[in-house]
């Protein structure tokens, strides 16, 4: 399959790229500053350009999303708005526009995260965004068929512990390769409306 | 208790107002065009003014939220953004600012809805918003104590069937008074981080 991978240069994106390539798929990697194609998917016009440049695709996979981490008492309204733009509206836009671009057999795999159900101090904006993404996946799944849509909800990955470890004290990390496996399951499987938890 | 009720003039708000008043509480009703106080809570500055005008409060309760209903293929990016502003960022702002205004014993009760888990055609934006609200409730609940926060997730209420009935074909409606009971449970109870489902 020909797979558009958003966030290809990130920790999770790198592992996901490797997993898909190892299974014989062609990956078109997208990053904000580098990759096969360059786009900031929080800008709907750049999403349109991205699809125009990408050519035929069988799957769209998102392995990155922006969220502001800060104690609730310090999170501003703008922090919440930026997090919803960075992780929710961006992914919704990829699906909205992508639904017209992908064939009937196409699929979307979005990213949420463990904070949907298991909050951490400083993660209220990220939790809010993750909950939105998962509910969107379930809702879009009844209107997109025959196209499919699923989510992957990773916990913190081992490779990110130097940066995010302090936020996830006492929570088990998983190798990014395990989260990558969930993306393979979503893309190669037949299910829709699922959120694959990698916790 | 002295309770600020957002959306007091709506179907659910009217039932909730009645339930609280019947239990001896003082309700300060807020509406966009009428009520004891007038405010559009999607505007953070109006939220600030609202709290300044409201005086001492024991609880903040939200019984209304705006969402755009339209088939996914017709929902625009702006529809999603407007729905997140109308039902998510507005409630987050009421909590953000309210946390400084309410006493340690204060509580917040937000509104989500059945579409978090049970989508309907045309409800993708509403589902997205509801999922965000519920995840925010769980996340804020670990940072707000001793203040509390819960959510109420109603299905469609019988009194709204003339308007929303066609969207909820075959789904059981509940009387608004049942949803109002969940608000009483949240405000008078001791739990936090709960989503009370009235389905």
**Alpha carbons A79 and A108: distance in angstroms, whole number:** 27
For residue A70, give how far its alpha carbon lies from the nearest alpha carbon of chain B (Å): 11
Beta bridge partners, B6, equal B30, B62
Tell whether domain A2-198 is in CATH 3.30.365.10.
Answer: no
Do the Cβ atoms of B144 and A77 come within 8 Å?
no
Tokens matching residue A31? 């990053």
Instruction: Choose from B132, B147, B169 for mutation: most chain A CBs within 10 A.
Output: B132
Sheet (strand A59-62) strand order: A37-38, A26-31, A2-6, A59-62, A107-111, A148-154, A195-198
Query: Which of B130, B136, B143 has its CB closest to that of A121?
Result: B143
A62 prior amide bond cis, ω within 30: no
For residue A18, give how far its alpha carbon lies from the nearest alpha carbon of chain B (Å): 31
* B199 CB-contact burial (10 Å; exposed 0-12 / middle 13-18 / buried 19+): middle
- The closest alpha carbon to A171, from A114, A128, A122, belongs to A114
Write out pLDDT tens, residues A112-165: 999 999 999 999 999 999 999 999 999 999 999 999 999 999 999 999 999 989
| Per-position pLDDT tens, chain B of length 199 | 999 999 999 999 999 999 999 999 999 999 999 999 999 999 999 999 999 999 999 999 999 988 999 999 999 999 999 999 999 999 999 999 999 999 999 999 999 999 999 999 999 999 999 999 999 999 999 999 999 999 999 999 999 999 989 999 999 999 999 999 999 999 999 999 999 999 9
For the whole model, what pTM was predicted?
0.98
CB A123 within 8 A of CB A165: no
| For B99, nearest residue in chain A (alpha carbons) | A73
| Pairing assessment for the beta strands A59-62 and B148-154 based on DSSP bridges | unpaired
Do the Cβ atoms of A119 and B132 come within 8 Å?
no
- Say what the ipTM of the complex is: 0.98
- The DSSP 8-state label assigned to residue B171 in this structure reads P
- The DSSP 8-state label assigned to residue A157 in this structure reads B
Task: Please list, in sequence order, all residues whose beta carbon lies within 8 angstroms of the beta carbon of residue A52, skipping any fewer than 6 positions away.
Answer: none
For residue B119, give how far its alpha carbon lies from the nearest alpha carbon of chain A (Å): 5
| Per-position pLDDT tens, chain A of length 199 | 999 999 999 999 999 999 999 999 999 999 999 999 999 999 999 999 999 999 999 999 999 988 999 999 999 999 999 999 999 999 999 999 999 999 999 999 999 999 999 999 999 999 999 999 999 999 999 999 999 999 999 999 999 999 989 999 999 999 999 999 999 999 999 999 999 999 9
| For B114, nearest residue in chain A (alpha carbons) | A135
């Amino acid at each position: 399959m020909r797979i558009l991978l958003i966030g290809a240069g990130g920790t999770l994106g790198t592992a996901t790229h490797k997993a898909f390539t190892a299974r014989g798929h062609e990956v078109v990697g997208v990053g904000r500053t580098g990759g096969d194609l360059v786009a900031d998917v929080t800008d709907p016009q750049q999403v349109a350009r991205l699809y125009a440049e990408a050519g035929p695709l069988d799957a769209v996979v998102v392995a990155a999303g922006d969220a502001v981490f800060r104690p609730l008492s310090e999170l501003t309204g703008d922090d919440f708005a930026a997090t919803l733009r960075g992780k929710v509206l961006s992914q919704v836009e990829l699906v909205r526009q992508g639904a017209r671009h992908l064939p009937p057999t196409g699929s979307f795999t979005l990213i949420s995260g463990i904070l949907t159900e298991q909050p951490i101090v400083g993660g209220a904006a990220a939790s809010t965004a993750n909950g939105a993404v998962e509910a969107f996946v379930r809702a879009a799944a009844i209107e997109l068929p025959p196209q499919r849509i699923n989510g992957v909800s990773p916990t913190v990955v081992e490779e990110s512990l130097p940066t995010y470890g302090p936020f996830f004290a006492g929570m088990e990390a998983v190798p990014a390769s395990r989260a990558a496996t969930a993306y393979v399951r979503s893309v190669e499987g037949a299910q829709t409306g699922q959120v694959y938890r990698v916790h």
